[in-house]
Amino acid sequence: EPEVTQTPSHQVTQMGQEVILRCVPISNHLYFYWYRQILGQKVEFLVSFYNNEISEKSEIFDDQFSVERPDGSNFTLKIRSTKLEDSAMYFCASNGNSPLHFGNGTRLTVT
């Protein structure tokens, strides 16, 4: 069964640095999403992406965040200047006419 893949599985960065989290959604899916899960807390929606543009974003998704689909397969989340509170698991998801399929996540640790 096709999967959403995310790299890296774990990223450690210093506060103020830029990070890029990468995702390869399922190939025939049209909608792409980023969610995050702060340790011990619930999964929160960040942003959705369709037809090469953001279709919705949450209040968490401020100017420090951006998403891009640089080619036909990758979908990236960039955090421009990381803060300690950005430490979380970040999940990529995609769907077509189906339930959301999630990747295994990238654990981001900001020190």
Partner 1 sequence: AQSVAQPEDQVNVAEGNPLTVKCTYSVSGNPYLFWYVQYPNRGLQFLLKYITGDNLVKGSYGFEAEFNKSQTSFHLKKPSALVSDSALYFCAVRDFILTGGGNKLTFGTGTQLKVEL
Site residues, partner 1 (CB under 8 A): 4, 6, 30-31, 33, 41-45, 48, 50-51, 53, 55-56, 91, 95, 99-105
CB of 40 to partner 1, least distance (A): 9
Q: Which is nearer to partner 1, 10 or 16 (CB)?
A: 10
Q: What are phi and psi of 100, to 5 degrees?
A: -65, 135
The CB-of-45 to partner 1 minimum distance in angstroms stands at 5
Measured between alpha carbons, how far is 19 from 16 in angstroms, rounded to an integer? Answer: 10
- Min dist CB 2 to partner 1, Å, is 13
